[in-house]
Structure 1
Amino acid sequence: MTFGAALSELRKAQKTAKGVSLYSRYVNRPLGRVFAAGAYVLGLRPNHVTLLSAAFTGGGIAAIALVRPGWPLAVAVYALLVTGFALDSADGQLARLRRESSAAGEWLDHVVDCAKVTAVHAAVLVSFYRFFDLSSDGWLLLPLGFQLTAVLIFCGGLLADKLKPKSAASVPPAPPSPLRAVALLPVDYGVFCVVFLLLGSESAFLAGYAALAAAAALFLVAFMAKWFRELSAAS
């Protein structure tokens, strides 16, 4: 297939929009489609795209930890993280296009996601310690708390999906809620990437990062209650 034909096929093979924020639905998935179509034309396999995603994301995370914050760094980090996120969407779309979905590919994708969720907050902690003029050492606890929250949301959601009985998992999904798509924006990784555009201003980044950490903590409580209730009802 040509690039245009591949892109057209990908538009017909999208996952449900239920439980997906507006950013992922209207920005990340469409950008991932473009990358997936390009990867198809270049003859890349889904695992190659997963590793490309890891490389871009890893480059952005390394820059956070190793380079003094400033506006050029802010733009570079944002570009690397957003590209890595779009490639994370592209690998699954490419797998569906090539009909090459596999347990090994899904495992690799989840391993990379877990590394990303863990390492990005560790990099922020390193940046705080090395470069920021913090008013209190208590700020160093913020990335640790955000990291714990992000890991629990990631693992809790993954386990809830895997442990849900097949009969429950096969129920046709309800139409996506626009209100829910908006409400999920604070915990969308693509929105989280935006905060790194504030790295040129220490106070702005601290405020934005803290706000997203607080939102994630609130969503964690809601998600955990929801997942536990659903699994209890299904067992």
Structure 2
Amino acid sequence: MPIRHTFIVALIVLLLGCGRDELNLTLQLDGLSGLQPGDTVVLRNQPVGEVTAVEAAGQSGYLAKLAIESELVPEATQSARFLVGEDPDNPGRRRVEILPGDPDDALLADGATVRGSIKQAPLFPLEEILRSFTEGLGILRDQVERFESDIRRVPESEEAQRLRDEWARLLDEIQRAQAATEESVKRDLLPKLQQELQDLEEELRALEARPRNKPQTI
């Protein structure tokens, strides 16, 4: 094959290979994060790569190797942040979430080492509590609706009428209890919680305003 043709073929192969290149990064973590090879890397909740290896780096530090589809992460600039947290799509597994940085910053180079942090669980699982409360109301509503549907199929009798009367009484109690609970929450509980939260915020601002002690030199 002529030298010129060989050069052209090699150039085409090189260009095609560059189009498939991955962006390989090393994620540096201070503590054990639970990451495993095969865990997902996401950007805006869209998978863009995976963890290929995790190894100890001494002094309780860890290094995770990330392989990312380079054409999908133009927002992975040098000011991007990397968070390790639970993977909502894979219970029991973790994932790396890329938080885009300034688009005007330089892109991360292949092979670069970036700092990562572990996403902390909320101190107060409010969302979990509200979800449980909503699920409980839904179960109760389903029971009421199911009983109403079943009682309609029962032939008329004194016993059936007694059950209907009991069901109506129970439904009335549920409605009154719900109304009383909502009113009690709005009148008593919410103002108390709002005041306690305001007190906590004031204490936090006071703590942040305190001068920090300078580290002692030896």
Give TM-score, length-normalised by structure 1: 0.24
More strand per residue: 2
More helix per residue: 1
Give TM-score, length-normalised by structure 2: 0.26
Q: Could you say which structure has the larger radius of gyration?
A: 2
